[in-house]
Amino acid sequence: MSDVLTHSNKLIAELGLVPLEGESGYIGYISTSHLVVEQDGQPLHANDSIYYLLNRERPINFLHWLAPDDTHILLDGGPVHYYEFREVDGKPHACHHLVGRNILKGERPVLMIPGGSWKALVLPVDVEYALLATILTPQWTDNPSRLKIGAGQEFIDRYQNPDNWATPAFLEKLIGPNFKR
């Protein structure tokens, strides 16, 4: 086991991270706001924050959709590829971000993705791990109206762009084991 992978495993143990089923990666809760807000008639905490880690054992956070805004802050390791899919002015929009510390090369250590977006994260093959803090506003819940995991051919048809990185094969890789046939 490499020293870096050992470091990743030490972070998992120290922060009490557990495997995130469905999406993959490792997750651990930091805190939940005491302030309660209402969204779509549902009382929710104003935000909650989590630790999220990808490593060589779990290098992909598979495609999922979240209702809340999702702010990611790189804490250690990285960078990590972040793929975002949403509607902009009624048209499909696919965007690639690199969450990292090398700002002069276009990386950003903080990235906010608007609520109602599909997203997936991929650890580059030469990176051993990425530890992020994520702030969800309002709070995350596993209610099916606020979380969707996986997609199918309709998603691929909507967001593919053969002249860009969003090829059908790559989009299917992002969906991974959650591909709905």
pTM, two decimals, is: 0.92
Q: Where are the alpha helices (DSSP H) in 27-179?
A: 153-159, 168-175
In sequence order, which residues have a C-beta less than 8 Å from that of residue 132 and are 6 or more positions away? 51, 52, 53, 72, 73, 74, 75, 78, 80, 99
Q: What's the CA gap between 63 and 115, in Å, rounded?
A: 14
What pLDDT is attached to residue 4?
62
What's the confidence (pLDDT) of residue 5? 59
**One digit per residue, pLDDT tens: the chain, 181 residues?**
556 658 999 999 999 999 999 999 999 999 999 999 998 888 999 999 999 999 999 999 999 999 999 999 999 999 999 999 999 999 999 999 999 999 999 999 999 999 999 999 999 999 999 999 999 999 888 778 889 999 999 999 999 987 789 999 999 999 999 999 8
- Tell me the residue range of the domain where 47 lies: 3-178
Query: Quick count: other Cβ atoms within 10 Å of Cβ 118?
Result: 21
The alpha helices in the chain, defined as continuous H runs, are 3-15, 153-159, 168-175
pLDDT at 49: 97
Q: How many domains does the chain have?
A: 1
* CA 2/CA 61 separation, integer angstroms: 22
First to last CA, the chain: 37
d(CA 94, CA 88): 10
Residue in this structure with the two tokens 């880690």, named with its chain if needed: 53
* CA–CA dist 160, 168 (Å, integer): 6
CATH number (domain holding residue 122): 2.60.120.10
CA distance 80 to 54: 9
